[in-house]
Structure 1
Amino acid sequence: MLRLYGIPTSGNCYKVELLLKQLGIPYEGISVNSRQGENRLPEYLAKNPFGQIPALELESGVVLAESAAILVYLAEDTPMYGQTKLERAEILKWLFFEQTRIARYIATTRFWVRAGQAEANASLIEQNLKLGTDALRIMNTHLEGKTFFVGERYTIADVALFTYTHVAEQGGFDLKPFPSIQAWCQRVQETDQFFPLPGA
């Protein structure tokens, strides 16, 4: 059985757990709390030298790191990773976008706000609010007249982008100017076997 290392309240762990459940893949969840430094313990680093969560341990004992890579691995040979070469390239494009724009600006800002570190990071938050809003604008424009991000079907691009976008307001972002994003978030929440991000 697969083993998923991490904590349910982590957005990056949630992405993987949501996909596992939606694909009907059995797994065992093993708690590794990065906020308490458990991801820096020698026994965890022996499994995952990156020291991140999530990590996915395969039946073979191989351990995969990086949430986007794990999503691709799990979705391979399923419609969740597209049906054509071009769709798969488009999905990868949005996975990279999520990591460089959404996670960098929106997830980080949300973490600082929720952790009581907003004042200490005020100048960075001001910058992130602008850059994160620019990213939301790109997403909203792309979604106009579309159901999902790639191929008019729910894919891992939607899983990745949804996770931190739907809780962006917890970091001070305003989703009201982006009706296409709001409607898309609702559609994601109506997919089979969906469950909410704990704490959202």
Structure 2
Amino acid sequence: MLRLYDSRYSGNSWKIRILLNQLERSFERHTLDLEAGETKTEAFSRLNRFGRIPVLQLPDGQTIVESAAILLYLAEGTPFLYKDPYLRAQVIGWMFFEQGDLQRFLALSRVYHIRGMADKMSQQIERLHADGYLGLEKLERWLETHEWLAGDRYTVADISVFAYCSLAHEGKYEMERFPSVNAWLQRVRAQPGWLDMFDISPFQTGHH
């Protein structure tokens, strides 16, 4: 059985659970406490050379790390990833964009707010917002004329970009500025097998 190492509040981990649920793939979930240092142990470093979640461990013990790589691995041969090389490259391009232009800026601002650190980190949050809004504006322009990110259907590109965009309001981003993004977020949530962040998948076993 697949084994997923994740954490409750991680958007990157949430992406993987969404896809596993939509694929109806059974998996064993191991939820780690990041603040308790459970990703900093020698045992965990053997699972992930980068020392962070999520990690997908295959039945043979091999591991796949980094959320985009895990999504691409799981989506192979399914409707969530195109076979056509050009369309596949479009999916991967959006996943690179999410990691480079959105994820860090949206996620860090959210972390500072939900951990009660916002007052001390106001200057850092201001800089994060400036960069995060640039990425969100690019996404808004695309979605003004496109229903989905890559091609004509929902793919792992949408799952990848969705997670932290849907959580951006927790980092005090003014998401009402992006009506096309908000309409797309609703389309993603309406997909069969959708799983909210704190929902428990019927296909999972283990700690949650």
Give matches, 1:104-115, under 5 Å. Answer: 104-115=104-115
How big is the shift at 1:171? 0.5
Aligned to 2:150, the other structure's residue is in SS state coil
Alignment of 1:35 with 2:35, yes or no, is yes
Structure 2 residue ranges without an equivalent (≥5): 200-208
How well do the aligned residues superpose, as a CA RMSD in angstroms? Answer: 1.3
How big is the shift at 1:128? 1.1
Distance in 1 (alpha carbons) for counterparts of 2:151 and 2:48: 34
Sequence identity percentage: 36
Aligned to 2:39, the other structure's residue is in SS state helix
Aligned length: 199
Distance in 2 (alpha carbons) for counterparts of 1:148 and 1:36: 39
Alignment of 1:141 with 2:141, yes or no, is yes
Match of 2:62 in 1: 62
Say if 2:7 and 2:13, in contact at 8 Å, map to a contact too.
yes
Distance in 1 (alpha carbons) for counterparts of 2:165 and 2:156: 14
Q: Which has the higher helix share?
A: 1
Distance in 2 (alpha carbons) for counterparts of 1:17 and 1:181: 22
Match of 2:25 in 1: 25
Most deviating of 103-112 and 42-51? 42-51
Structure 1 residue ranges without an equivalent (≥5): none
Runs of 4+ in 1 over 4 A off after TM superposition: none
Match of 1:82 in 2: 82
State the Cα deviation string for residues 2-50 of structure 1 (Å, max 9, x = none). 0001123211110011111111111110122222210111221222222
Match of 1:72 in 2: 72
Aligned to 1:56, the other structure's residue is in SS state strand
Distance in 2 (alpha carbons) for counterparts of 1:121 and 1:165: 21
How big is the shift at 1:145? 2.5
How big is the shift at 1:113? 1.1
Say if 2:87 and 2:150, in contact at 8 Å, map to a contact too.
yes
Instruction: Give the TM-score, by structure 1 length.
Output: 0.95
